[in-house]
Structure 1
Amino acid sequence: MQQEALEVVREYAQAVFRRARVPMEPLNYEVDWADQPSRHTSYPGAPRVPLPVALPDLPTLRDLFTGEHLPPPGGWSLDSLATLLRLSYGVLDRRLTVNWNQDLAKRAHFEHAVWGRGTASGGGMYPVELFLVAGPSAPLLPGVYHYGTGQHVLERLVLGDVSDTVRAAVGDPAGDADSFLVASIRFWKNSFKYNSFCYHVVTQDLGALLGSWDLLARALGVPLPRLLGFDPAPVDRLLGFDSDRESAFAVVPLHWAGAHPDGDPAADGGTGPDGGTDLDGGGRSVGHGTAGERPGTEIRVRYPAFERSRRLREFPAVTEVHRAAAAPAAPAPDALANAAPRELPGDPLDLPAPQLERLARPLSTVLATRSSSFGRFRRPPELTAAELGTTLAFATAGRHHPADVGPPGDAPALTRLWVFANHVEGLAAGTYAYCSGRHALLPAAAEPDGGMSAFLQQQYFLTNYTMGQVGAVLAIAGRLDAVLDAVGPRGYRILNAEIGAVAQRAYCAATAQRLGCGAVLGFDNVAMDEALGLTGTDERTVLFLLLGRHPDGTADLVYRL
């Protein structure tokens, strides 16, 4: 069974990497934009708990990079949770920008407006759903809550302590936590546009979110271990999911500041964040959608999520690879240590030291102003080698983090950054491997015949970027087959999560330096791998980031919320 699942994952990945040459089925798929799902999932009828909207002063990216001026470690509070949710996945502003996207004209109309968020998402689909499973020590009533991204509220779906269900699913890594953040993926929110390509995109979306959470957790002084190797079935049942359409992908155990030692929710009067007391004198929950299940009945979410689409399609490739990759990861100790990209021979070229002063912007400001470039790159002036190096250094600095499945802290990371230098002041055009330990670039190949701009444009099969205006293309690569051999089919999700997190950190570094950045999946991976000398190896490029400058004067509208 394990071998069959591995073959399914490998075949899907191969189809993804070759899709520029062999289109993925269904062929000639047309997006029904009129029947697209809502960008903001909601549960009509569920009681709502408003979250704090005020944002604290957060450390700068420089502080996060150097480890200086960070808050002391502590526990979670409702305020810190609200900050994490809003800055990572909540709506922060409405944006209208003149760019090269083909749907630009209709974005001036409210029903087609673009709403900015702190974390990047493929196509702006935002398919991740966030749930809080609150236990007895939480600062609000025990139960299951859904984060409403559109209104920055928690929707209470179950009233009562069901944290044991999640704890049993994730096992020992949960420790003594009695509350959990659960990140699920609702496939239709992405697949309606990207069909069979969906699974590749959404697993990187999850990683981008986790990348934001890693930064925010350090800035807030709270622990945030990511659990990715668990069996999702019990959590899916609790949340009322059809696992082929939506499934839990990540769990984060939460420890609350000032939690009562015995976890008694009535110790502080049983008052919820909205001031309403939902406990009777004996500490029993009453009203407000209490589970009310008969003895022996499985407690789970009964509220149905609102679905805007009249027709929901399932794509066999997505269903098959999800079922295969859902097998829990059970790696041998240090199994992933040997799945990192291999050392490369040669003499690297030292990069200028990271420009720490360019990173001196608060994380909250960086996330609130992060955006994708969508063809707005303009040169001159050129991207400098120092700006490129600062972006590379910050992007790779967070690749080791607390997790249940991952390489040891002293082992090489699972990803490598490659550089297609196009127009970089102080760096010859060509391809390079970034050596993070030395902060240097190892030359891989000279500029292609006809020039780097022409090569990149030929390999890019979309129309929203002109490569002649781009300073550099960063390629995030990994050894997928080695990761699959180490942890099984779940390795596909684990590697893509790492790749998404690196991309989000690169976005943040570029934003702090006031550079343009755009993540794309529209390159011919086979040709890009060949240009880097990866043909015949098990290392592959997976995700690409365009880096460059925006013009100083632009016709942009940003309405902050």
Structure 2
Amino acid sequence: MQLPARDIVRDYTEAVFRRARVPMEPLNFEVDWVDQPSRHTAYPGAPQVPLPTHLPDLATLRDVFTQAPSASAGWSMARLATLLRLSYGVLDRRMTVNWNQDVAKRAHFEHAVWGRGTASGGGMYPVEVYLVAGASAPVLPGVYHYDTGRHMLQRLLVGDAGGSIQAGLAGPEDADSFLVASLRFWKNSFKYNSFCYHVVTQDLGALLGSWELLASALGVPLRRLLCFDPAPMDRLLGFDSDQQSVFAVVPLQWSAEAAGTRDPAVPTRVGDGGVTPPVQIHYAAHERSKRVRQFPAVTEVHRAAAHPPATVDPAAVVDAAPRPLSGEPVALPEPRLDLLDRPLSTVLATRSSSFGRFRRPPELTVAELGTTLAFAAAGRPHPADAGLPADAPALTRLWVFANHLDGLPAGGYAYCPRRHALLPAAPEPAVGMSAFLQQHYFLTNYTMGQVGAVLAISGRLDAVLDAYGPRGYRILNAEIGAVAQRVYCATTAQRVGCGAVLGFDNVAMDEALGLSDTDERTVLFLLLGRNSDAVATVEYRL
């Protein structure tokens, strides 16, 4: 008998949280690196539309943090090109000597690391971005794919196909153009198999986090829609929904100047709106892999979470926020705004994961930790498109495993953004914090004795599922990914090392924070520390 969709999601997440103790299927899986998919999707034969390559100096992270968002401008192709390239385009080639397992390969061109502004689990980058341009767009109306490897658009369909997007949305949008973010599971599952869905839904959130920061710096509006029916959108884009599907939609309002630059000839409207028949793009994406595998756990949980909620009760969403905690707060220094005084464009262009580069001394300071926490927490509210107010409470909480911090005793703490303070959750383990963290980290690319602090992002999954139904899993992971991206940006601006990991034993980490008897669970972890300067590094800027 088929389980209810909520139970399928709950069983999958329980397997994810316990995978350090009970391995997920398939057992003894081996990655076929020779047959891996291309890191950059392309549509052979599709017309190419060049994008502006100039990257302007944007507002500083300090300005983004301290100033209220001002959406005074509309979108233009130059602003859209900046958003796409700084968030998901290729920015440089990187080669660093570190403890990551595949470092020996990185010196060879076929295994090169090409840096991007947004973090991605394993560097797989499974999001594919499409522009559905309507009559007001500065390009010919149609459907375009963003080619991340060459920073250009590929035109896949001519005609105003906005009706196919509107057909899936919960309500009408006052826009005829949309950015559409889809996830292609094979770009991640070839390496992470059944664990894929958990990773890629956080990858989506990281990209949305970058988009929100960039939109704020560019002074343009950006609303992310997550509660919709992807079926008409998947049909338009020619997806097998079990292998690739639309996960987020962003309506675009073009500036008057941008709209006036397009050829005035407007093709006939096509799509699912009105009496026009459904259409599909004219080109197929190139598939590098000879064998594309599907993993039953990924297919099952995706089908369960794909259906949008019929209704969302705002009170239930408010109730899904983490419960208030008690305790004597440990005050943090005021955020060091001077440490955030770097342009967002520079921050995203230089963001990277530390892997095994952490070195002590000097120690990470409490001021740097507090600045990172404050900036990360400022972007947590994720009301999606459920009719919630912009100040809806966050679905996540930030925790700190203080390991080697100048000015803070080792132990576990919860971060309270309202008071900008830490609430003690647990004392230092008897074995020592470094030993505890190393014992419960099951990968080999970090030495915990060199880590200053471990941040944990938690959420109340069951409560979120009560509020949003099975789609709540995707919404919660999107917020988690966005918070992680803000942590990366804050640490990059401060020249502090950062690395997001999913390699801890969640059960042990929850026990250490006193969460075992609650419905709150840690989901993603970020390591903070000092990057050694005495490391061989090559960066070639593109």
Q: TM-score normalized by structure 2?
A: 0.96
> Which of 99-108 and 312-321 deviates more?
99-108
CA drift of 1:407 comes to: 5.6
CA distance in 1, matches of 2:3, 2:299: 17
In structure 2, the partner of 1:431 is 412
CA distance in 1, matches of 2:514, 2:339: 33
Per the alignment, do residues 48 and 424 of structure 1 end up closer, same or farther by CA in structure 2, a change over 3 Å counting?
same
* CA displacement 1:357-405 (0-9 Å, x = unmatched): 0000000000000000011100000000110000000001012356303
In structure 1, the partner of 2:110 is 111
- Supply the AA of the counterpart residue of 1:18: R
Would you say the 8 A contact 2:170–2:227 is kept in 1? no
Partner SS state of residue 314, structure 2: coil
CA distance in 1, matches of 2:386, 2:48: 35
In structure 2, the partner of 1:495 is 476
In structure 1, the partner of 2:327 is 346
Would you say the 8 A contact 2:225–2:248 is kept in 1? yes
Would you say the 8 A contact 2:340–2:493 is kept in 1? yes
- Supply the AA of the counterpart residue of 2:157: V
Per the alignment, do residues 142 and 546 of structure 1 end up closer, same or farther by CA in structure 2, a change over 3 Å counting?
same
Per the alignment, do residues 296 and 397 of structure 1 end up closer, same or farther by CA in structure 2, a change over 3 Å counting?
closer
Partner SS state of residue 333, structure 2: coil
Following TM superposition, the consecutive aligned residue runs of length 4 or more in structure 1 with deviations greater than 4 angstroms are none
Would you say the 8 A contact 2:71–2:216 is kept in 1? no
- Supply the AA of the counterpart residue of 1:368: A
CA drift of 1:71 comes to: 6.2
CA distance in 2, matches of 1:224, 1:296: 29
Work out which of the residue numbers 228, 233, 247 in structure 2 matches 1:230: 228
Would you say the 8 A contact 1:407–1:414 is kept in 2? no
Would you say the 8 A contact 1:138–1:259 is kept in 2? no
In structure 1, the partner of 2:458 is 477
Tell me, which stretches of 5 or more residues in structure 1 are unaligned?
A: 272-278
Would you say the 8 A contact 2:413–2:425 is kept in 1? yes
Identity of aligned residues (%): 74
**Number of residues of Structure 1 aligned to a counterpart in Structure 2:** 538
In structure 2, the partner of 1:270 is 263
CA distance in 2, matches of 1:201, 1:337: 26
Partner SS state of residue 341, structure 1: coil
* CA displacement 1:176-232 (0-9 Å, x = unmatched): 100000000000000000000000000000000000001000000111100000000
Would you say the 8 A contact 2:146–2:152 is kept in 1? yes
* CA displacement 1:101-135 (0-9 Å, x = unmatched): 12111111111110000000000000000000000
1:328 pairs with 2:308:
yes
CA distance in 2, matches of 1:333, 1:445: 33
In structure 1, the partner of 2:287 is 307
CA drift of 1:55 comes to: 1.0
Would you say the 8 A contact 1:378–1:470 is kept in 2? yes
Would you say the 8 A contact 2:398–2:458 is kept in 1? yes
Would you say the 8 A contact 2:372–2:490 is kept in 1? yes
1:461 pairs with 2:442:
yes
Work out which of the residue numbers 509, 531, 535 in structure 2 matches 1:528: 509
Per the alignment, do residues 408 and 296 of structure 1 end up closer, same or farther by CA in structure 2, a change over 3 Å counting?
closer
CA distance in 1, matches of 2:304, 2:71: 41
CA distance in 2, matches of 1:510, 1:147: 28
- Supply the AA of the counterpart residue of 1:178: D
CA drift of 1:46 comes to: 0.3
Partner SS state of residue 256, structure 2: coil
Partner SS state of residue 488, structure 1: helix
CA drift of 1:345 comes to: 1.2
CA drift of 1:299 comes to: 1.2
Work out which of the residue numbers 396, 410, 430 in structure 1 matches 2:377: 396
- Supply the AA of the counterpart residue of 1:252: V
CA distance in 1, matches of 2:217, 2:277: 42
Partner SS state of residue 487, structure 2: helix
CA drift of 1:316 comes to: 0.2
Partner SS state of residue 374, structure 2: helix
Q: Map 1:119-158; keep pairs closer than 5 Å.
A: 119-158=118-157
Would you say the 8 A contact 2:226–2:249 is kept in 1? yes
CA drift of 1:409 comes to: 3.4
1:379 pairs with 2:377:
no
In structure 2, the partner of 1:251 is 249
In structure 1, the partner of 2:297 is 317
Would you say the 8 A contact 1:232–1:247 is kept in 2? yes
Would you say the 8 A contact 2:141–2:267 is kept in 1? no
CA distance in 2, matches of 1:411, 1:41: 36
Tell me, which stretches of 5 or more residues in structure 2 are unaligned?
A: none
In structure 1, the partner of 2:16 is 16
CA distance in 2, matches of 1:333, 1:74: 31
CA distance in 2, matches of 1:482, 1:48: 46
